Each structure stands twice: as structure tokens, then as C-alpha cells.
Amino acid sequence: MFTLPAQAFKFPQLPTNLASKSFRLRSFCARSARTMNYFVGQDLEGNSYYEHPSVLDDPRPKRTVKYKGAGDMWTYVGGQRRLAVQWSSWLTHTRSDPPTFEELQADLLRQERVRRNVALLEARDREEERLRVAASTAPPLTLRVPSLPPDPPAGPPTEPAPMAKALLDTPSSPPSAETEAWTPHAAVRGQ
């Protein structure tokens, strides 16, 4: 069998300082791509929102929020405060574009309008409840019936009006409101 000398398969070697510089340049580019943040916007409380490319093969960029104060993160995580719904949906990629400042202000005005309407409805409900309680605790009113005029003198009987006659002819008992039993019958074909 024929063998080639080992020198025939040798790859050219780069100088060590050039290979080292190339590696450092590649690692610097990778590090800077991971840490490159693009400012996207700010909410009404002063929190800043950033977007940066994903390190993995995920096509979606990574989205983060930087809270205004150092301790503010725990008030949001603990539930005492909440991020704006528009920014929350942007952070979770439900919304593709970040909200504008005008949109956030319009939503704040809408929330205030809803709060005022709720306060008006609750005040009206309290007033209705107060009136209902006052009506149930008030003493019952007695009605005074005015005395009736004396009966007309007895004379020859008069003919009742046609409408009154029709009313007198109707049966005195009202029709029953009870339902009647009913059973459906099967249709017979050919008849």
C-alpha cells in the first residue's frame, strides 16, 4: 500500500498572534451583540423598555424593562404596582409595536373616566338602597275615603247603556289561568 509523507497533509499555520487577535475579535463581537440594547420607549412612571437581539436561534428579539428606581422592581413583582397593559403585551410579544406616549395618556384618561362613572353608579345605587330602606321602615299611610254622595231617588228603571249591557252579559268568573294537559300524536302517513 502506498502512503504519503506526513508533510503532505499539513495545514498552513497562522502566526499565533494573528489567530489570537482573530479569536478576540470574534468573541468581542459576540459579547457586544449579546449586550447591545436598543432603547424602545418609556412609560408614564419612568420605566425604560429595551430590545436586543436574541443570542439563541430565536428569531424574536429579547425585550426587557429597566425600572426607574432600584427598589421599584420588587413593588411591581410583589403586585403593589402594575406595568401598563400596553407595555406588558409588548414585553410578551403579543403586541409587535411599542405603545406611544399619546396612547398611554389616552388610556390613562379612559381609566379615569371609567372610575368616575363607577363612582356615579355606586352613589346612585346607595341612594336607591337608602330610599328603599326608608320606604320599608316608614309607617303605613292610611287612606281617607271621601264620603259618597247619597243615592239618587228611586224612580222608573232606566235602560243601561249598550256598553254596560255588554259588560253585564259577560260571565262573572274569569277564565282559568291553568294550563291544560296536551299530548302530541304521531302523524299518520298515507291518510
Beta strands in the chain (DSSP E): 38-42, 48-52, 62-66
Please compute the mean of the pLDDT values over residues 43-67 and round it to a whole number: 88
Stronger pLDDT, 161 or 45, i.e. the higher one = 45
Residue 44 in contact with residue 84, Cβ under 8 Å? Answer: yes
Determine what percent of the chain is predicted with pLDDT higher than 70.
61
Per DSSP, the three-state class of 66 is strand
Interatomic CA distance for residues 53 and 141, integer angstroms: 79
pLDDT at position 135 is: 87
Please compute the mean of the pLDDT values over residues 142-151 and round it to a whole number: 67
pLDDT above 60 (res 14): no
pLDDT at position 91 is: 92
In tens, the pLDDT along 70-109 reads 878 878 877 788 889 999 999 999 999 999 999 999 999 9
Confidence of residue 132 (pLDDT cuts 50, 70, 90): very high
DSSP H or E segment with residue 17: helix 16-35
Confidence of residue 188 (pLDDT cuts 50, 70, 90): confident
Mean pLDDT of the chain: 78
pTM of the model: 0.50
Please compute the mean of the pLDDT values over residues 173-187 and round it to a whole number: 75
pLDDT at position 40 is: 92
Residue 49 in contact with residue 91, Cβ under 8 Å? Answer: yes
39 burial via Cβ count (<10 Å: 0-12, 13-18, 19+): exposed
